A = this chain, B = another copy of it.
Amino acid sequence: MAGNTFGHLFKLTSFGESHGRALGGVIDGCPAGIELDLEKIQLELNRRKPGQSAIVTQRKEPDTVEIYSGVFEGKTTGTPIGFAIHNTNQKSKDYSHIKDSYRPSHADYVYDRKYGFRDYRGGGRSSARETASRVVAGAIAKQFLSNVKINAFVSQVGEMKLEKNYKELDFSKTEANPVRCPDMETAARMEQYIKSIKKEGDTIGGVITCVVQNVPIGLGEPVFDKLHAVLGGAMLSINAVKGFEYGSGFNGVTMKGSEHNDSYNSDGTTTTNLSGGIQGGISNGMDIYFNVAFKPVATVLQSYETINKEGEKVTAQGKGRHDPCVVPRAVPIVEAMAAMVLADFVLLARTNKI
């Protein structure tokens, strides 16, 4: 309820600040008997961690996960999986530009107003560093959902769009380039663009598309917990996300019903899939696909004007090692959230019928 638990049956409760001692979480409700490949969890974390390539932040954070409980003899036991990622370089830093003034479009101001004060080190709890815990939980959810295929990728950076339908793409290429766009030619152009933005000390937004295949029919609940509503809420909870659409999305607005309806084949599949694999909030077995819009990172390496706690105007300078574009590193986070949502609904669907 205070916002640090996600899910109802497969649940992550996360903790940790950007520059605190450790961050981590507890995964509760993970079924017993999953043969857990711990290396795969670390590999997912590595996809998210800083310093992977020239176009992401150059911070050094090894992000090594330690599993404390809930796994025995290589299998999940059905009891909670506690884990932590220790922060290795908590050396005292200069936070004066954050401590006393409010960075524009960050959470500094609202935290101070909400809580009375804040942990200002590296953004504290508002830092996207918190998403490391989500990636751990998502990696476990993926292993539970072994038949479901979840592939996210970068489909837009600034104005630069990937102009192909996802069915034309080879998802194995997503990890073959630092942008995580599965079309190598578009990826190369995006990479150059991000580098030029970085050189300016500026940042740029982007879109991640996610495709989920082999989804069982019947996931999602009819009213408030429609599958796409929970997926949308999950994606919107990722730092810097400004929008979500699935299936025909915002384009569907301009269509007529006679164009938009998906006709059934005799096996229950549909000839088209403008519904995006979800009808009435419930999965119909077709591919689920959705887009997640990310704004540009707020930290620009430029000087800016703002206010301090006393409301006085001050000039500050953006510094540190930050991402010029957040979407390449956000790809595993989108997948992790999708995996957690699906794991939760797979468990819930076991209770629908006598």
Contact = CB atoms under 8 A, between A and B. Distances in A.
Q: How many copies does the complex hold?
A: 4
B293 A245 contact: yes
A294 interface: yes
A16 B69 contact: yes
B13 A2 contact: no
Interface residues of A, number: 152
A257 B353 contact: no
A249 interface: yes
A182 interface: no
Contact of A232 (B4, B244, B348): B244
Contacts of A300: 256-258, 261
A51 interface: no
Interface stretch (A38-46, A54-62, A107-115, A162-170): A107-115
Interface in A194-231: 197, 200, 202-207, 217-218, 220-226, 228-230
A265 interface: yes
Interface string A73-107: 10101111110100000000000000000101111
B114 A349 contact: yes
Given A256-B203, A295-B260, A307-B264, A280 B106 contact: yes
A184 interface: no
Nearest to A205: B253
Interface in A229-269: 229-230, 232-234, 236-237, 239, 242-250, 252-268
19 contacts: A1-B1, A3-B220, A3-B225, A104-B264, A105-B261, A105-B279, A116-B353, A144-B354, A156-B253, A205-B252, A205-B253, A205-B260, A243-B243, A243-B249, A244-B245, A249-B293, A257-B297, A257-B299, A348-B351
